[in-house]
């Protein structure tokens, strides 16, 4: 049966697949290598059981919370995903409008197809973070940080799991290219605006992998997080931590938050599902910094489970792209509302009301 009117996020995926070009679909959907981790991210949620409690007066459910001191409407937000204009002409602007209207936080990718300044023109107040890839030329990274601070972003999410790009086989086969009418809009320098335009892709590489190898600094280390803190007026969050050891180093480096992430299974295949890695990170940081999670969130009960295990909030990647492909801003709103409705219902049926700041809906 072909689904045309989605009732859950799973329904959206085939709809988006039909709409998107092969180049875009494969880039958005793929994981690295055999995509074991990509699949595990979702499966691991389905292995966790909720322990409901009854007769708890669930007539008022509150899902509001705060992240790094900013009030937000829900404990979920939008993860940074690059090049959103391949999904819809309005790309990141459509996502930002949807997030602002529902007061959902959004992280903008360094490799957005809308500049970090243009993104929020006329949209008004909303909680946004900027995702930073640290370029070999540190002046580029520093300039991005300054611009993000000047434009009102509330935090920097530094991606730490991508010294080189994971092997995404479909992108290699397709010889991925950013369509020529689009550009990485945060850069004025032509050499940084185009992906897959050069002659140097080989049979074993994609335009993306070449770009990352040329631009991103693989020598990045914990001492650079300390450096970043000296140049950033914004709180620094590291995105891509999966172990207790690294979580402790992150705390020592003075970060304000950690995103437990395996990059949606797109980097090192074979690592744990994020919800499985979450508990050791939570235990290691012992409440010293906020811990977030992304990867495999596809329904409200996944959000419930991550929060129950101690995440302050979660971020959602691919479903937003499916929503964008489906109906632009309205499609992203549909995804956000669906997650919100499902989360509220899950809390109601589990007997956890939530009380704003202090979470009441832990399921353990």
Fill in the per-residue mask, 223 to 262: x = in contact with ligand FMN (CB under 6 A), - = not in contact: ----------------x---------------------x-
Hey, how many other C-beta atoms are within 10 angstroms of the C-beta on 103?
Answer: 15
* CB atoms near residue 231 (< 10 Å): 12
80 near ligand FMN (CB under 6 A):
yes
Helical H segments across the chain, by residue range: 9-19, 22-29, 36-46, 91-102, 138-150, 169-174, 190-193, 207-215, 222-231, 244-252, 274-285, 300-308, 318-350
State whether residue 108 is helix, strand or coil.
strand
Helix or strand run (H / E) with residue 294: strand 290-294
Query: Contact between 82 and ligand FMN (CB under 6 A)?
Result: yes
Tell me the C-alpha distance between 292 and 298, whole Å. 16
**Nearer CB in complex with ligand COI: 260/308:** 260
Residue 65 Cβ, how far from ligand FMN at the closest point, in Å?
19
Residue nearest to ligand FMN (CB): 317
Residues forming the site for ligand COI (CB under 6 A): 82, 111, 162, 165, 208, 212, 263, 266
294 interface partner picked from ligand COI, ligand FMN, none, CB below 5 to 8 A per type:
ligand FMN
Residue whose C-alpha is closest to residue 259's, from 136, 141, 131, 126: 131
Residue 52 marked in a binding site: no
Residues found in the chain:
364
Q: Which contiguous run of DSSP H or E holds residue 291?
A: strand 290-294
Task: Show the binding pattern over residues 304-333: x = contacts ligand FMN (CB under 6 A), - = does not.
Answer: ------------xxx---------------
Q: Cβ 166 to ligand COI, closest distance in Å?
A: 8
From the list 152, 156, 131, the residue with the least C-alpha distance to 232 is 156
CA distance 90 to 41: 29
Q: With CB cut-offs between 5 and 8 Å by kind, which of ligand FMN, ligand COI, none does residue 351 bind?
A: none
3-state secondary structure of 72: strand
- Kindly identify the residues of this chain, within the stretch 152-191, that bind ligand FMN according to CB under 6 A: 159
DSSP 118: G
What track of x and - describes contact with ligand FMN for positions 33 through 62 (by CB under 6 A)? --------x---------------------
Q: Least separation, in Å, of the C-beta of 200 and ligand COI?
A: 16
Closer to ligand COI at the Cβ: 184 or 236? 184
Q: Is residue 287 marked as binding?
A: no
Task: Using the minimum distance from each CB to ligand COI, give the nearer residue, 159 or 256.
Answer: 159
Positions annotated as catalytic residues are: 263
Q: Answer yes or no: are the C-beta atoms of 274 and 295 closer than 8 Å.
A: yes
For 215, half-sphere exposure in the C-beta direction (CA atoms, 13 angstrom radius) is 25
301 touches ligand FMN (CB under 6 A): no
Q: Which is nearer to ligand COI, 111 or 130 (CB)?
A: 111
Query: Which listed range, 7-15, 73-81, 194-202, 347-355, lies at the site for ligand FMN (CB under 6 A)?
Result: 73-81
Tell me the β-bridge partners of 106: 78, 128
User: Closer to ligand COI at the Cβ: 132 or 165?
Assistant: 165
Q: What is the Cα–Cα distance from 148 to 247, expressed in whole angstroms?
A: 25
Q: Which residues bind ligand FMN (CB under 6 A)?
A: 27-28, 41, 79-82, 109, 111, 131, 159, 239, 261, 263-264, 266, 294-297, 316-318
From the annotation, which residues make up the binding site?
A: 27, 80-82, 109, 131, 133, 159, 168, 239, 261, 263, 266, 294-298, 317-318
């Amino acid at each position: 049966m072909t689904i045309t009117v989605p009732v859950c996020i799973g329904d959206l995926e085939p709809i988006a697949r039909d709409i998107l070009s092969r180049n875009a679909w494969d880039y958005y959907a793929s994981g690295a290598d055999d995509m074991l981790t990509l699949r595990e991210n979702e499966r691991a949620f389905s292995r966790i059981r909720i322990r409901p409690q009854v007769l708890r007066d669930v007539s008022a459910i509150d899902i509001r919370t705060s992240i790094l001191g900013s009030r937000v409407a829900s404990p979920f937000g939008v993860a940074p995903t690059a090049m959103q204009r391949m999904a819809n002409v309005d790309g990141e602007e459509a996502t930002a409008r949807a997030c602002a209207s529902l007061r959902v936080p959004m992280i903008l990718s360094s490799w957005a197809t809308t500049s970090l300044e243009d993104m929020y023109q006329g949209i008004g107040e909303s909680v946004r973070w900027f995702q930073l890839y640290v370029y070999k030329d540190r002046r580029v990274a520093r300039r991005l940080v300054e611009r993000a601070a000047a434009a009102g972003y509330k935090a920097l999410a530094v991606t730490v799991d991508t010294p080189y790009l994971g092997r995404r086989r479909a992108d290699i086969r397709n010889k991925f290219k950013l369509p020529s009418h689009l550009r990485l809009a945060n850069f004025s320098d032509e050499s940084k605006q185009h992906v897959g335009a050069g002659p140097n892709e080989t049979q074993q590489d994609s335009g993306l992998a070449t770009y990352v190898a040329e631009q991103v600094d693989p020598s990045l280390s914990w001492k650079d997080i300390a450096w970043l803190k000296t140049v950033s007026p914004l709180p620094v969050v590291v995105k891509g931590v999966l172990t207790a050891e690294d979580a402790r180093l992150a705390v020592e480096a003075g970060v304000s938050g950690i995103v437990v992430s395996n990059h949606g299974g797109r980097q090192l295949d074979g690592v744990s599902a994020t919800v499985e890695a979450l508990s050791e990170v939570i235990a290691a940081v012992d409440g010293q910094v906020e811990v977030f999670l992304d990867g495999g969130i596809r329904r409200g009960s996944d959000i419930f489970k991550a929060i129950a295990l101690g995440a302050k909030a979660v971020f959602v990647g691919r479903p937003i792209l499916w929503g964008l492909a489906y109906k632009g801003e309205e499609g992203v709103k549909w995804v956000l509302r669906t997650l919100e409705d499902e989360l509220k219902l899950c809390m109601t049926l589990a007997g956890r009301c939530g009380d704003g700041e202090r979470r009441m809906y832990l399921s353990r």
